[in-house]
């Protein structure tokens, strides 16, 4: 039972990151491989602000702002000039941005791992189970964010415009939608979600290195593909599924060491069986 809750909590982290991948893919049709490194940016921002102010809440707020702004700046400087370029050029640029961010972090903070002490609320016992309060916070806040995002995309003008841009940029433009602005908003939202993910990640693993974002980034990307890249509920489902599988595998000593292999094998199986992902939508090409 504790494993399940831990799994869902880890799943919430993956889902938040996967949402960033999937939304950017859906709207800008690009794989933003630098997205994982935004988590790292968020983590160092939390560390630095915490050292200066000593207030974890201020640190979180600053981290959200810094991540959002980084997302927007990266899109403006690195990706926007490449709009209409070949997908390969954009992909390589994204990988370049990823290395760039990691190198900058290494220059500022060095490559050694640094530890961070975030408030620990201890454990509570629910129905005889000992559960970390941090785990519950991750699950609840993550859930609220995802619910809010779903409502935003479905019910607001901007959210609807995001769906429209994702389906047909030209037609969206004919509705008066400023496509560049929608892409910018998408990067901003994705990066803000990554800031939350970095906070929750640090609450579970309180040590920071410049490559901290790589593994959760890749796993969340896997989650996004499993759920169906471009699909928002797909990213949530894929993230939760991957988190659960990871924690369940880790809890069984015999297969624990193979956890990562199992996760990526799942990706391969999904790609073989249903290449568009669990909730992916088939794009009907009409001429």
Partner 1 sequence: MALLEVKNLEVFYGMIQAIRGISFEVNEGEIVTLIGANGAGKTTTMQSIMGLIANKKGTVIYNGQDITKTPGHKIVRMGMTQVPEGRRIFQQLTVYDNLLMGAYTMADKKQIQQDIDEICTRFEILGQRKNQIAGTLSGGEQQMLAMGRAMMSHPKLLMLDEPSMGLSPLFVDKVFDIIKDYHKSGTTILLVEQNAKKALSIADRAYVLETGEISLSGGADDLLNNEAVKKAYLGA
Positions that interact with partner 1 (CB under 8 A): 157, 160-161, 163-164, 167-168, 170-179, 281, 284, 286-287
Query: What's the rounded Cα separation, in Å, for the pair 15 and 21?
Result: 10
CA Rg value for the chain:
19
Minimal distance in Å, beta carbon 287 to partner 1? 8
Q: Nearest approach, Cβ of 156 to partner 1 (angstroms)?
A: 10
Least distance to partner 1 from the beta carbon of 131, Å? 39
Q: What's the Cα-to-Cα distance from 241 to each of 19, 40, 173, 248, 257, rounded to whole Å?
A: 14, 23, 36, 11, 19
Closer CB to partner 1, 177 or 185, in the complex = 177
- Please give the helix or strand (H or E) that residue 275 lies within, else none: none
CB of 21 to partner 1, least distance (A): 19
C-alpha distances in angstroms, 142 versus 109, 146, 180? 29, 6, 28
- Helix (H) or strand (E) holding 32, with range, is none
- What minimum distance in Å lies between the beta carbon of 44 and partner 1? 37
Integer Cα distance of 265 and 284 in angstroms: 29
H or E element, residue 141: helix 133-155
- Which residue's CB is nearer to partner 1, number 253 or number 285? 285
Rounded CA separation 20/35 (Å): 7
């Amino acid at each position: 039972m504790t494993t399940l809750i831990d799994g869902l909590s880890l799943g919430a982290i993956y889902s938040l990151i996967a949402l960033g991948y999937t939304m950017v893919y859906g709207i800008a049709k690009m794989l933003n491989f630098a997205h994982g490194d935004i988590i790292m940016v968020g983590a160092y921002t939390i560390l630095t602000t915490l050292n200066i102010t000593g207030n974890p809440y201020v640190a979180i707020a600053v981290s959200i702002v810094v991540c959002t702004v980084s997302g927007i700046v990266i899109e403006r400087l690195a990706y926007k000039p490449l709009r209409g370029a070949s997908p390969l050029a954009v992909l390589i640029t994204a990988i370049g941005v990823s290395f760039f961010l990691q190198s900058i972090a290494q220059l500022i903070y060095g490559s050694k791992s640094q530890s961070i002490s975030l408030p620990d609320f201890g454990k509570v016992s629910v129905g005889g189970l000992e559960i970390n309060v941090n785990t519950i916070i991750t699950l609840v806040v993550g859930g609220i964010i995802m619910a809010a995002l779903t409502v935003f995309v479905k019910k607001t003008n901007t959210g609807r415009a995001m769906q429209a841009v994702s389906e047909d940029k030209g037609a969206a433009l004919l509705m008066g939608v400023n496509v560049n602005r929608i892409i910018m908003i998408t990067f901003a939202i994705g990066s803000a979600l990554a800031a939350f993910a970095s906070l929750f990640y640090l609450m579970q693993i309180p040590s920071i290195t410049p490559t901290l974002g790589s593994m959760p980034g890749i796993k969340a990307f896997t989650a996004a593909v499993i759920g169906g890249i471009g699909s928002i509920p797909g990213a949530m489902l894929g993230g939760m599924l991957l988190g659960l599988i990871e924690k369940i595998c880790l809890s069984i000593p015999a297969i624990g060491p193979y956890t990562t292999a199992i996760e990526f094998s799942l990706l391969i199986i999904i790609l073989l069986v249903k290449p568009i992902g669990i909730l992916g939508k088939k794009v009907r090409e009409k001429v």
